[in-house]
């Protein structure tokens, strides 16, 4: 059995489909026999990432598509890539916010950074992005103090 083969979900850019994406990630985690804490951390990070793609990369254009790819990586980790059709975006340019600062919004990237072990983005040509999240099960949200 090849656990590194990708699972792929392609869907319209619509916030009504967040539950489907969350379920997809949860089931792939179960397939890989992940513990509940690590699974929940990855599901929550996925929720935040998908919201950002729909709201910011696609600016609510329902005709845009999002591809979600998951695969196993070394050390029992899982990689999720969100492939969008939006304008180029560099996640490393998003400021590291003070969690105690009072403000509306802007916490999605902060949460993703806290919940996963690796986070990066890459622009695609002529447009679009690949947002990459990697999580290792031994570094669950519970043990990280989240």
CATH of domain 7-135: 3.30.565.10
For the segment 8-27, the average pLDDT, to the nearest whole number, is 97
- pLDDT of 146 strictly over 50: no
Instruction: Please tell me the pTM assigned to this model.
Output: 0.86
Q: 3-12, 26-35, 87-96, 106-115: which range is least confident on average?
A: 87-96
Domain boundaries, the chain: 7-135
For the segment 121-136, the average pLDDT, to the nearest whole number, is 94
Q: Are 95 and 135 in contact (CB under 8 A)?
A: no
The reported pLDDT for the residue numbered 89 is 84
The reported pLDDT for the residue numbered 142 is 44
Q: What tokens does 117 get?
A: 């072990």
Query: How would you classify the pairing of strands 7-12 and 65-72?
Result: antiparallel
Question: How distant is the alpha carbon of residue 126 from its chain centre?
Answer: 22
Rounded to the nearest 10 degrees, the angle between the axes of helix 18-31 and helix 36-52 is 150
Q: Render pLDDT for 100-126 as a digit per residue (tens, 0 to 9).
A: 665 555 578 889 999 999 999 999 988
Q: Render pLDDT for 36-84 as a digit per residue (tens, 0 to 9).
A: 999 999 999 999 999 999 998 898 687 999 999 999 999 999 999 999 9
């Amino acid at each position: 059995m090849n656990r590194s083969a990708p699972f792929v979900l392609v869907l319209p850019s619509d916030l009504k489909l967040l539950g489907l994406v969350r379920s997809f990630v949860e089931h792939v985690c179960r397939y890989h026999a992940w513990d509940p804490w690590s699974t929940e951390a990855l599901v929550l990070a996925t929720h935040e990432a998908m919201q950002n793609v729909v709201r910011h990369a696609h600016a609510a254009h329902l005709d845009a598509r999002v591809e979600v790819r998951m695969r196993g990586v070394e050390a029992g980790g899982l990689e999720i890539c969100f492939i969008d059709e939006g304008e180029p975006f560099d996640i490393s340019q998003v400021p590291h916010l003070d969690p105690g600062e009072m403000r509306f919004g802007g916490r999605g990237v902060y949460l993703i950074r806290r919940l996963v072990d690796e986070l990066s983005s890459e622009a695609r040509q002529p447009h679009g992005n690949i947002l990459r999240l990697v999580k290792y099960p031994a570094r669950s949200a519970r043990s990280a103090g989240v």
